[in-house]
Structure 1
Amino acid sequence: MERSLETQVSQAVDAWLRWLPRWQPATHRGRIAPCRRCIGSPVLSAVGLGADVPHGVQHGLSTRMKAIVDAAVAEYTSRNLPMLQAELDQQAARNRARSYRPAEGLAPEFEGLPLDPEPVAGAPFLFTISGLAQESDDAVPELPPLSSEAKAALRQEVGLADDYANMIGREVCAVLLHHRLRVQAAVAQHVEPQIEAMLAELTRSLDAPFEPGAERGGDT
């Protein structure tokens, strides 16, 4: 039996809550580019995860909600939008023909994130994961071109799919309002103490920049 949207959202939130105790603050250099999936996300606003919550915590939840919307849109498309479905099927077959697909099969916490770290000035990479993936993609033949009439019909179906996605997204946000308190309680329990500990350690290092017993410049 098909699960209701409420059940899907509840189960996705449950999965995120089970993962959250394993979250730890990242120790590497942060990324410059904002995550387009999370910044300004109405999903995150619905559960009260604002800019003060680390991105890794946000991303795990927003990605799970996106999967729910994507599945609903895929079902709607298969039933009502034959031309768009045919185009998606061709693209899926093309993707399967690629020999290297590093972005597939990732856990929700990593899905949609850049494959490579930010480049460092003066220290170029010998190779990048995204570059290798692009080489694999370039080796697969392009899809056949569409006629002007087919392009117009396809744009119309894409618009319908977008409208449906927006409708499902609003329903997901409405359901998420009922999970707001337990999401925030989990953040308070598992995330905020780690952030406070990091800030306390930073404060100690700024107050006492020298190790005990170390010589200080200017001491006699």
Structure 2
Amino acid sequence: MRAADLACRRRPGVSAPYAGVVERSLETQVDQAVEAWLRWVPRWEPATHRGRVAPCRRCLGSPVLSAAGIGANVPHGVQHGLSTRIKAIVDHAVAEYTALNLPMLQGELDQQAARNRARAYRPTEDLEPEYEGMPLDPDPVPGAPFLFTLAGMADEDAGELPPLPPLSDEAKAALRHEVALADDYANVVGREICGLLLRHRLRVQAAISEYVEPQIEAMLAELTEALDSPFDPDTL
């Protein structure tokens, strides 16, 4: 059964012709996301700062990146730029589905959104796709703690908000059921997107070969030269 048919089954009153419109809209969004990523890739440069050690859960083992032809050996920044753009498409589709079919989950999301708007400091909002979801702060150096961190400031601000009202056991069970439905729908959309990304593999891989790999090779050549001549005065 096609993913669009599965989506129709979970959307009461949605007909097959409407599903075709949804599928075409999804195709357009994926095309636009890939085009935006391809325009950004020529501007990518290797990071010159100390990064985080922990792997990115969004990109590690991502079927989206695999479908697009981006291997695990591609620098994370390049991966993240595409995976975040695709995640935005999935999030938008799930948000529409939730608003139509999952009233309890939608109510919880509305309450959380209102709480977020009440926060004075929101450092994770309105970021470019290449930075959205990335750690706000580098890993601390042992023996040299930070005076403050962006994440810590955001957490302090969130701690001043009143807690959400408690839920009954029945409400919790109903909410878990709706969350499971939303997750199922996200998987349906994700599988559809993976199929749509297959047509872009050659262009994605060509962009990596043209703009990313030469920079990595230049870095490796520099490192090799430095290791071969560790006492060269020009490298000191």
Partner of 2:63: 42
SS in 2 for 1:191: helix
Q: How does 1:107-186 map to 2 (within 5 A)?
A: 107-186=128-207
What is the alpha-carbon distance in structure 2 between the residues aligned to residue 30 and residue 96 of structure 1?
Answer: 30
Q: Shift of the alpha carbon at 1:212?
A: 4.4
Deviations along 1:52-78, one digit per CA (max 9) or x if unpaired, are 100000000000000000000000000
What is the alpha-carbon distance in structure 2 between the residues aligned to residue 152 and residue 115 of structure 1?
Answer: 34
What is the alpha-carbon distance in structure 2 between the residues aligned to residue 165 and residue 127 of structure 1?
Answer: 37
In the alignment, structure 1 residue 192 sits paired with structure 2 residue 208: no
Identity %: 75
Q: Shift of the alpha carbon at 1:208?
A: 1.2
What is the alpha-carbon distance in structure 1 between the residues aligned to residue 119 and residue 33 of structure 2?
Answer: 30
What is the alpha-carbon distance in structure 1 between the residues aligned to residue 146 and residue 79 of structure 2?
Answer: 29
Q: How does 1:71-82 map to 2 (within 5 A)?
A: 71-82=92-103
What is the alpha-carbon distance in structure 2 between the residues aligned to residue 175 and residue 135 of structure 1?
Answer: 42
171-180 or 1-10, which deviates more: 1-10
Question: What RMSD in Å do the two structures reach over aligned CA positions?
Answer: 1.6
In the alignment, structure 1 residue 26 sits paired with structure 2 residue 47: yes
What is the alpha-carbon distance in structure 2 between the residues aligned to residue 45 and residue 75 of structure 1?
Answer: 26
More helix by share: 2
66-75 or 24-33, which deviates more: 24-33
Q: How does 1:76-95 map to 2 (within 5 A)?
A: 76-95=97-116
What is the alpha-carbon distance in structure 2 between the residues aligned to residue 138 and residue 6 of structure 1?
Answer: 41
2:230 counterpart (209, 213, 216): 209
What is the alpha-carbon distance in structure 1 between the residues aligned to residue 71 and residue 35 of structure 2?
Answer: 20
Q: Number of residues paired by the alignment?
A: 215
Partner of 2:12: none
Q: Shift of the alpha carbon at 1:31?
A: 1.7
Q: Shift of the alpha carbon at 1:144?
A: 0.5
What is the alpha-carbon distance in structure 2 between the residues aligned to residue 71 and residue 161 of structure 1?
Answer: 12
What is the alpha-carbon distance in structure 2 between the residues aligned to residue 86 and residue 182 of structure 1?
Answer: 42
What is the alpha-carbon distance in structure 2 between the residues aligned to residue 42 and residue 136 of structure 1?
Answer: 36
Partner of 1:218: none
SS in 2 for 1:4: helix
| Consecutive aligned runs of 4 or more in structure 1 exceeding 2 Å deviation | 211-214
SS in 2 for 1:130: helix
Partner of 1:13: 34
- Contact (CA 8 Å) 2:51, 2:138: kept in 1 or not? no
What is the alpha-carbon distance in structure 2 between the residues aligned to residue 49 and residue 13 of structure 1?
Answer: 12
**Normalised TM-score (structure 2):** 0.88
What is the alpha-carbon distance in structure 2 between the residues aligned to residue 213 and residue 169 of structure 1?
Answer: 51
